[in-house]
Amino acid sequence: MTRNHIWTALGAGCLALVAGAVLASPLATLQLAKKPPHAAQVTFLEGKASRTEVGAAVEGPLKVGDELSQGDLIATELRSRLELKLDDKSVIRIGPSAKIALTEAQFSPGEQTRKLSVKLFFGNIWAKVTSAVSGDQRFAIETENAVAGVRGTTFRVDAHADQSVLVRVYAGAVAVAKPIPIYAADLKNPSKGGKSERREVAGPDEVSRAAWEKLVGAQMEIAVSSKGVPGEPSSFSAADEQSDNWSKWNQERDAK
């Protein structure tokens, strides 16, 4: 092959690479546009925690300053605590040996839209929610057998291994109800190593929504059985929490 032939071939190759880059550019832009919405930032970590991003096959370690997105699956290890600051300045804290999914996170400037939904598979969550005056608002912590929805308050949700749930409200009010049945498609199941699954859930029960929705006010709690049956809201006192290090730590953080 002559020198001219070599330069011609190289030139054609360079043109092909340039053309490929130009053609790939709109695709790259489209992929960036489809990036999941930003949800929160890690502001405190004691111990170890991990995050599995949307579409990722493996989990990676978390550290203070990391940014989280809608769809992320988050887990804490034994003797670990994690604090997340949301885009609306609300705060959620996750206790040791817990796993959650940021199933929905939509925030708009001016607080006109706030849609946050967190799936708590097991463990403890503490939420300090900023008040919202108007607009499209939703802030919910959902477990297998209960969903707690608020506008502005401080509360905790404990999801136990037997699927029973405790919701305790410290300020404001929380509406606690049985989750609305849905088709759970592509839900990452932590019991299967975070792999996606598709399953059909049971249809609606033959009872009215009012029969299993309870309003829980400040300094009150409600227990939901492992079968998803809620008890009646009842008051709790400071004495009930004297030995509860999780509550003490969160209230100290809230006071800062």
pLDDT at 9 over 80: no
Of the candidate ranges 5-9, 48-52, 230-234, the one whose mean pLDDT is the lowest = 5-9
Query: What pLDDT sits at residue 124?
Result: 97
Q: What is the mean pLDDT of the chain?
A: 79
Give the tokens for residue 24: 């790939």
- Tell me 231's DSSP state: -
Could you tell me which residues come within 8 angstroms of residue 197 by beta carbon, excluding any fewer than 6 positions away? 184, 186, 187, 189
Q: In sequence order, which ranges of the chain are alpha helices (DSSP H)?
A: 3-33, 245-255
Query: What pLDDT sits at residue 134?
Result: 58
pLDDT at 84 over 70: yes
Query: What pLDDT sits at residue 150?
Result: 84
Give the tokens for residue 203: 């249809």
Q: What is the pLDDT of residues 229-251, one digit of tens each?
A: 899 999 998 888 888 999 999 99
| pLDDT band with cut points at 50, 70 and 90 for residue 212 | confident
In sequence order, the β-bridge partners of residue 92 are 84, 127
The helix/strand/coil state of 210 is helix
The helix/strand/coil state of 8 is helix
pTM summary value: 0.75
Phi, psi of 138 (to 5 degrees): -155, 130
